[in-house]
Amino acid sequence: MARGEVDPQRVRVGAFVRARRLELGLSQGDVIERLGYRSRNSVSNLELGLEGLPARRAHDWADVLELDRDAFYRVVTGLDPVPSSAGAIARRDDLAELVSLYKTLGPNGRKRLLEKARRYAEKNALKKSHG
């Protein structure tokens, strides 16, 4: 890319990041604080597409923007297109995440987790019936 040219991928990622930040009600200052940046220019330049989002920081940005880490990384690195809305790569809900984590456990881990969940549900049901 020639000097002075703007990378369209950077512009799309920057616009997406800005839209998501605003959707969450975050200021540039909030993002700077959470990511540990020293200058407001770093976030502003990224949102304007003047600077790219470093791939090594994609997971940190995903956390602040409440997005799925892997999906956002793929967008930042150009492996996937920039979605039209954050809903396409927003973090999964708790139930979906729980099922996904459960699937990663071996047979013993699944059994122990299921036993603990049953005990917790029983205690919770007792609390509700007495309170």
18-66: pLDDT as tens digits: 999 999 999 999 999 999 998 889 999 999 999 999 999 999 999 999 9
Structure-block tokens of residue 82:
């920039």
d(CA 37, CA 15): 19
- pTM for this entry: 0.68
C-alpha closest to that of 88 among 105, 97, 101, 75: 75
